[in-house]
Amino acid sequence: MIAPSVAMLVRLLCGARAVWLGSAPPNGVCIFFANHTSNLDPVVLWSALPSFIRIRTRPVAAQDYWTKSSLRLFLATRVFRALLIERRNVTVRNNPLAKMLEALDAADSLIIFPEGGRFAGPEPQEFKSGLYHLARQRPNVPLVPVYLENLNRVLPKGEFLPVPLLGSVTLGSPISLNPGESKLDFLSRARLASWNLHRL
């Protein structure tokens, strides 16, 4: 019962709702990938999804951030069902890619942020290679581009309390890795798929 209430509260606070351009909400497992400007990004995107998608979608989030307090840990694990990954001391045993593949194989969709960190500017930075490796190892999983706007103003970097403002969540048509497509070309195309949603 907590998760729907939190989702409603976030939508009311940020005014963010999902706008689907060029496609309908997916019926099966998929990977939502988005630009990253605020710690609210995974929460807002998760909250904006229709309930039938939200209940089987897990944000991929930084373990060091979401375990800093008991409240954050409770929200991450019990409300958002976040997939917490190690960002600094990555080993074979805690490989983020392996965890994400396991989640996909368990019929969970994922929310990821391929830039690898938060950036204040509107245009997404160059994507890290994780999205490419997911696309290569699970080629039948659709990759849904997302552009999040105004969320860095709702919760600026370094702040704890959000400011009620209007944010937006725009989702585009799914993409996939083309046969023979290089990692560089794919990541560039994926970044543009997200960025182009800002200009529509």
- Helix ranges restricted to H, the chain: 2-14, 41-48, 51-54, 63-66, 70-74, 96-105, 130-137, 151-154, 183-198
Interatomic CA distance for residues 165 and 79, integer angstroms: 23
Interatomic CA distance for residues 8 and 56, integer angstroms: 17
Interatomic CA distance for residues 117 and 156, integer angstroms: 14
Q: Specify the pLDDT at position 165.
A: 52
Q: List, for the chain, all residue ranges whose pLDDT scores fall below the cut of 50.
A: 154-156, 159-161, 163-164
Q: Specify the pLDDT at position 18.
A: 84
Q: Kindly state the tokens that stand for 18.
A: 């999902």
| Tokens 């023979």, residue located | 180
Tens of pLDDT, residue by residue over 64-116, are: 888 899 999 999 999 999 999 987 776 667 789 999 999 999 999 999 999 98
Q: Specify the pLDDT at position 37.
A: 82
End-to-end CA distance of the chain: 36
User: What is the reported pTM?
Assistant: 0.89
Interatomic CA distance for residues 144 and 114, integer angstroms: 12
